[in-house]
Amino acid sequence: MNEHDSEIISGMLAARGYTPASAAEVDVVDIVIINTCSIRENADKRFFGTLGQLKKAKTKNPDLAVCVCGCMMQQEQITGKIRRSYPWVDVIFGTHNIHEFPDMLQELYDNRKRKGNRIDNKLRSSKEFRVDRIYEDRREIVEELPANRLFAHKSFVNIMYGCNNFCTYCIVPYTRGREQSRDPENIIREVRDLVIDGVKEVTLLGQNVNSYKGISPESGQWDFTDLIWALSETPGLERIRFMTSHPKDLSDKLIDAFGRCDKLCNYIHLPVQSGSDTVLKRMNRKYDRKSYLELVRKIRQAAPGIAISTDIIVGFPGETEEEFEETLALAQDVRYDSAFTFLYSPRQGTPAAEYEDQIPEDIKHRRFNRLVDIINEGSKSRNAAFVGRTCRVLVDGPARKQSVSEEGKILLNGRTEEFKLVDFAGSEDMIGRIIHVKINDSNTFSLRGEAVND
Ligand code: SAH
Ligand code: SF4
């Protein structure tokens, strides 16, 4: 979600004639924007560290506009600290008014002009020019914002904003507000335009996409699966993915679509968070271990070979060794294709941060390592099952460590429908296309193969 917000911010600035620069150019650029995440505490620390370093850049380059945005700005203790202690911050905006950013930037320049653009050496006067606007909740959904996409051939598409679930550990409902779904017509139009622009794969975004409730003036209420089926009719669109779905709202209708809708990728990210019923209850997740496992069974039955990934939190307050072992056992049972594993991080303002039985860091770390071992075993064996198969890979670009082979081929990578990362040798013209790749080798995190004729 934050990444896509960054693409939109970048798109709005590109529309005004700005071009992106690298971090190394910080002493000469016009604008620095820090888009923040507040899911876990280490992001907070990194943010203030980076902000501290920007003071030096601002001293060298006083015209620099330092702009901060994202989830952290929706928390008063954070904005209070910025306002008090970081006078070199020029623009502060939140998650609900991203669309106002270009105008806020203009306001900053107008303020500077009016007040003489004089910055004293303690940088105090920066505060006078500052443009600081944050809303507590989203008023309306602003459509038609441009985005500077990271990839030409695939794109994120927001279908809803906010979250109503209030899991007791999570800050998102406080920083992103209540759920609001976009109208289906607007989503369909956006996807159609993206495809005309060369996009082959869309990832539908929302904190809980399967509680999507769109209202169409013509056909009334739409649920998430209705939206998927409608989007699958977009000519030229090859793949549909989504992130993230909540187990409590995963309907049989959606499971059925996995089996029957060709464009819906054979992959689901289904965060479990814990394998223990008592922990799930304290987390306010509204499902239990048994119903989660039943979902996994139904999904695999409807769509054999589907890849399943998850999120798991280790060391939630009060988590006992037995409760943790239930998570280990669940991970072993399900054998996930991959998982994001997190150490529980107390977030100020959430109920769980107030619970008294917080787990000591060393115990959290030890449990975390045990879990990662089991997750990795699962990933390794799930990946090994791909060896010998030929997969359709949407090619993203040169693999990070670019290497050119004797025949002049470059090492490319891309994703299978199951979201498996595949490295193979090919040519530049394959980027952005779906290429058949025969898988020859695998490890815990990726596959390796060779391009074969279609
Ligand atoms: N809406 C998505 C998740 C958004 S946050 C969902 O419900 O699945 C992404 C992940 O961050 C969560 O699934 C959770 O595993 C993790 N997370 C959220 N708050 C956390 C916290 N306080 N400490 C550790 N991990 C957290
Ligand atoms: Fe956070 Fe739970 Fe909402 Fe996901 S569903 S964003 S974890 S409150």
Backbone angles phi, psi at 417, to 5 degrees: -55, -35
454 confidence band (pLDDT: 50, 70, 90): low
**Do 255 and 374 reside in the same domain of the chain?**
yes
- Average pLDDT on 361-390 reads 98
126 and 207 housed in the same domain: no
- Classify 196 as helix, strand or coil: helix
* pLDDT at 400 > cutoff 80: no
- One-letter amino acid of 381: S
As a whole number, the mean pLDDT across the chain is 93
Q: What is the pLDDT of residues 280-293, one digit of tens each?
A: 999 999 999 999 99
Residue 143 lies in a domain: no
Could you list the residue range(s) of the whole structural domain that residue 117 is in? 2-133
Residue 145 located in a structural domain: no
Q: Looking at the domain assignment, is residue 142 inside a domain?
A: no
Residue 92's domain is classified under what CATH number? 3.40.50
pLDDT per residue over 317-327, tens digit each? 999 999 999 99
> For position 36, what pLDDT does the model report?
96
Query: Does 151 score more than 50 pLDDT?
Result: yes
Position 142 confidence tier, pLDDT thresholds 50, 70, 90: confident
Give the sign of the dihedral formed by CA 341, CA 346, CA 350, CA 354. positive
167 lines ligand 2 (CB under 6 A): yes
User: What does the pLDDT average to over 291-304?
Assistant: 98
- Centre of ligand 2 to C-alpha 271, Å, is 10
Among the three residues 384, 401, 424, which one is the final residue of a domain in this structure?
Answer: 384
Q: Is the CB of 172 under 6 A from ligand 2?
A: yes
Per-range mean pLDDT, top range of 54-58, 86-90, 127-131, 269-273: 269-273
Query: What is the reported pTM?
Result: 0.93
Q: Which residue has the higher pLDDT, 204 or 45?
A: 204
* Residues 178 and 314 both lie in one domain: yes
Mean pLDDT of 112-131: 66
β-strand pairing of 434-442 with 390-398: antiparallel
Q: Please give the residue that has the higher pLDDT: either 288 or 26.
A: 288
* Residue of minimum CA distance from atom 21 in ligand 1: 345
- Within this chain, do residues 187 and 324 fall inside the same structural domain, yes or no? yes
DSSP 104-126: HHHHHHHHHHHTTT---TT-TTH
* 192 and 112 in a common domain: no
Confirm if 232 and 264 have CB atoms less than 8 A apart.
yes
What are the C-alpha distances in Å from 262 to residues 184, 229, 233, 239?
20, 10, 11, 8
Which of 35-44, 96-105, 303-312, 422-431 is the least confident region?
A: 35-44
Same domain, 253 and 374: yes
Report pLDDT for 382.
98
The residue assigned the tokens 């977009």 is: 234
Give the CA distances from residue 24 to residues 98, 150, 215, in Å, rounded to whole numbers and listed in that order: 25, 19, 46
Domain closes at, from 364, 384, 404: 384
Residue 147 inside a domain? The answer is no
Both 409 and 376 in one domain: the answer is: no
Q: Is 196 part of a structural domain of the chain?
A: yes
Contact 132, 152 (CB under 8 A): no
Which pair of tokens denotes residue 123? Answer: 């940088």
- The string of DSSP letters for 236-281 reads T--EEEEE---GGG--HHHHHHHHH-TTB-SEEE---B-S-HHHHH
Give me the number of domains the chain comprises.
3
Q: Same domain, yes or no, for 46 and 113?
A: yes
Assess whether pLDDT exceeds 80 at residue 117. Answer: no
- Identify whether residues 213 and 333 lie together within a single domain: yes
- Residues with C-beta less than 6 Å from any ligand 1 atom: 39-40, 169-170, 172, 207-208, 244, 246, 271, 273, 311, 313, 342, 344-345, 347
In a domain, 148, yes or no: no
Among 170, 279, 327, name the best residue to mutate to test ligand 1's pocket (greatest count of ligand atoms within 8 A of Cβ). Answer: 170
253 is a domain residue: yes
pLDDT digits (tens, 9 = 90+) for 175-221: 999 999 999 999 999 999 999 999 999 999 999 999 999 998 888 99
Least Cα distance to 169 among 342, 343, 346, 41 occurs for 346
Q: Is the CB of 210 under 6 A from ligand 2?
A: no
Q: In what order do the strands lie in the sheet with 91-93?
A: 31-36, 65-70, 91-93, 131-133
Say yes or no: 184 and 313 in one domain.
Answer: yes
The CATH number assigned to the domain holding 358 equals 3.80.30.20
* Residue at a domain's end among 349, 366, 384: 384
Name the token pair of 174.
Answer: 């406080």
Q: Could you tell me if 264 and 324 lie in one domain? A: yes
The pLDDT of 401-406, averaged and rounded, is 62
* pLDDT over 70 (residue 403): no
Considering every ligand atom, which ligand is closest to the CA of 271? Answer: 1
pLDDT class of 122 with cuts at 50, 70, 90: very low
Query: How high is the pLDDT of residue 106?
Result: 95
CB 272 within 8 A of CB 247: yes
Domain at 444, CATH number: 2.40.50
Give the largest CA-CA distance in the chain. 69
Is the shortest distance between the CB of 284 and ligand 2 below 6 Å?
no
Closest ligand 1 atom to 350 CA? 22
- How far away, in angstroms, is 285 Cα from ligand 2 center? 9
Percent residues over pLDDT 90 in the chain: 83
pLDDT of residue 48: 95
Does residue 374 share a domain with residue 230? yes
Backbone angles phi, psi at 156, to 5 degrees: -85, 150
Q: Is residue 217 part of a domain?
A: yes
